[in-house]
A and B are shown apart, each in its own frame.
Chain A
Amino acid sequence: MAIDWQTFWLTLQLAVTVSAILFLLGLPIAYWIAFSPRRWKFLVEALVALPIVLPPTVLGFYVLVALGPRSPFGRWWISLTGHTLAFTFSGLVIGSILYSLPFAVQPFAASFASVDRKLLAASATLGASPMRTFFRVIAPLSVHGLVTGATLSFAHTMGEFGVVLMVGGNIPGVTRTVSIDIYDRVQASDYAGANRTALLLLALCFLLLALVYGLNRKPWTLNPVK
């Protein structure tokens, strides 16, 4: 069977949406984790890292419950829009954001934290607001972390399976992503089709990661500046 391009298109849409939202959402969370003096900060760090260790089914299950009509959030959404979030593209986006959160936040926070604190102090004594310090000093010096976080969240969403299956089900054109398609083909003993689709996904992800690591390579590692 031929490659189902619709699933690729849908997966790409999902990955772009999720990584774009995660980028905007991840910046303040990472900033808070990197610079907050709060003692209970570690609890937030643990919470953000949770999706790395949790089985996607567990996360997917709770997202499904939260989106459904039994949770206050689900009821609020239904009263607002008239339909449930479960088994929709929007629901898929919400589930994927939670699932990929650590892949954006952790590289962001790590690169923010590695910026020399004296530079931040210098910026403040020169009269700069925290906002100006962030955009003029922290962000430019964290470019590698920002690129890495954006790419990892993108690639991770591309390859996601469990959460999608739990939250989105398998509706062609709405929630049927590449990984679900592959799973279906294997179930239907279409190994050739599964192989073609899987190989394409693998190649795409590899290209993307290679591009990012290539861009992130520091040209001066060979000739260190003084």
Chain B
Amino acid sequence: MSAMSETRELAPKVVPPSASGSRSDVCLQAKILKRQAAQGQEFVLDVEIEAAPGFTILFGASAAGKTSLLDCVAGLSKPDSGHIAIGKRVLFDTSQSIDVPIAQRRAGYVFQNLALFPHMMVAQNVSYGLTQLSRAEREKRVQTVLQAFRIGNLAHRSARELSGGESQRTALARTLVTDPDILLLDEPLAALDTPTKAQIIDDLREWHRAHRIPILYVTHSREEVFALGERVIVLEAGRIVAQGTPHEVMTAPMQETVAQLAGFENIFDAVVEAVRPERGTMTCRVTGEGGPLQLETPLVRGGVGSALRIGIRAGDILLATSPPVGLSARNVIPGRITSLDQRDVIVSARVKCRVEMEVHLTLAARDSLQLEPGKEVWLVIKTHSCHLMLK
């Protein structure tokens, strides 16, 4: 902690107080239009975002334009038209013919593949961006940031010899030590195991508390969205399709693409059959091959007869081998197992119950319930496990 506050004191003032008040008010504003061809497929990145200090998560499938957006902010690629500014400092503007060179944008960028300089040691990598400082000052700052990211012991290790987590920390330290005005993180934790990930997220949060700058964080991991997100922007084919808090964006109602990204294995078309505003629920009818199936779901806008989609995560469904009684869950559906499929430590069961549902179980559950294809089962789904999406 003391290491962190020290970093802050060492940080030079970049934005003069007269220009934009205290630094913590500095927002990123970006309006970008860029036509681009990726793998033969042409799409247009057309977004307008404003990011306050704090984490803004960019969420979306690959080739949705997340990385292109970061590249435009950093200056690595040039929009066809638009305006990019951090506070009052304009980085790019087509109408004023402004295009600040990459090196002068003060945009810290941690790439997906990290791009550590392989011919340098960790300390050399981290001090690379500190050319303006005296040697003593530089070493002091490098030491401080290495301590803050818990890699002080690796200072003289070659960048080639680092583990995934160590590389990740080095890349973050190298960028953060330059005290950027905005931080661009392109899936920086994608390759890490969960405990390492959680630790680095903690360290990053800690650093952020002392610096308060806008952070654009690209990910397609749900866990990271909830762990970090103050605000989420969902991109699809170059456009923003949803934005808000993680809870607002990731829960109903939502776009189907968001749902698939959010990890709904079961997605059904449904029609609202009855609405009960006093209870905050409604009944939806899903039409399957074997006839209609009724599900109780949370209430959303839209009256009786409106068409929706329902997403249910395979891990949110309980499975019973006899008709369960005395449950709070409102949806109990009889069905029959059609297949069992082991994936790593999870068993994926397909259950036919007018519609086909995918259910995830542990190995122990499969064995103690003696589950096998053809067995009769009851699926139990809580009302709030049914996520409603716009069609």
Is A118 a contact partner of B115 (Cβ separation < 8 A)?
A: yes
Is A119 a contact partner of B117 (Cβ separation < 8 A)?
A: yes
Label chain B's interface by main secondary structure: loop
- Given A132-B131, A225-B161, the answer on whether A125 and B109 have CB atoms closer than 8 Å is yes
A78–chain B nearest beta-carbon distance, Å: 45
The answer to whether the Cβ of B174 comes within 8 Å of any Cβ in the partner chain is yes
- Given A127-B129, A136-B128, the answer on whether A122 and B119 have CB atoms closer than 8 Å is no
The answer to whether the Cβ of B107 comes within 8 Å of any Cβ in the partner chain is yes
Interface band, chain B: 20 to 34
Chain A residue, CB-CB nearest to B164:
A226
Q: Which residues of A contact B129 (CB under 8 A)?
A: 126-128
CA distance A128 to B174 in the complex (A): 13
Q: Binary interface profile of B, 135-160, with partner A (CB < 8 Å = 1, else 0)? A: 00000000000000000000000001
Is A122 a contact partner of B111 (Cβ separation < 8 A)?
A: yes
Q: Which residues of A contact B105 (CB under 8 A)?
A: 125
CA distance A136 to B129 in the complex (A): 12
CA distance A160 to B223 in the complex (A): 66
The answer to whether the Cβ of A123 comes within 8 Å of any Cβ in the partner chain is yes
Is B174 a contact partner of A126 (Cβ separation < 8 A)?
A: yes
CA distance A121 to B117 in the complex (A): 11
Chain A residue, CB-CB nearest to B158:
A225
Label chain A's interface by main secondary structure: helix
- Given A118-B111, A132-B131, A136-B128, the answer on whether A124 and B118 have CB atoms closer than 8 Å is no
Q: Which residues of A contact B117 (CB under 8 A)?
A: 119, 122-123, 136-137
CA distance A87 to B28 in the complex (A): 66
Point out the residue from B104, B108, B118 that lies within 8 Å of A141, measured CB to CB. B118
Is B103 a contact partner of A121 (Cβ separation < 8 A)?
A: no
- Given A121-B76, A141-B118, A141-B119, the answer on whether A128 and B111 have CB atoms closer than 8 Å is no
CA distance A129 to B131 in the complex (A): 11
Q: Which of B174-214 contact A (CB under 8 A)?
A: 174-175, 178
Is B103 a contact partner of A129 (Cβ separation < 8 A)?
A: yes
B20–chain A nearest beta-carbon distance, Å: 21
CA distance A124 to B118 in the complex (A): 16
Is B128 a contact partner of A126 (Cβ separation < 8 A)?
A: yes
Is B74 a contact partner of A128 (Cβ separation < 8 A)?
A: no
Instruction: Give 10 closest A-B pairs by Cβ, nearest first.
Output: A126-B129, A122-B115, A124-B102, A118-B115, A125-B109, A140-B119, A127-B103, A119-B115, A127-B129, A118-B111
Residues of A within 8 A of B (CB): 116, 118-119, 121-129, 132, 136-137, 140-141, 225
Question: Can you name 8 extra interface pairs (CB under 8 A) apart from A121-B111, A126-B174, A140-B119?
Answer: A118-B115, A121-B74, A121-B109, A124-B76, A124-B103, A125-B76, A126-B103, A127-B178
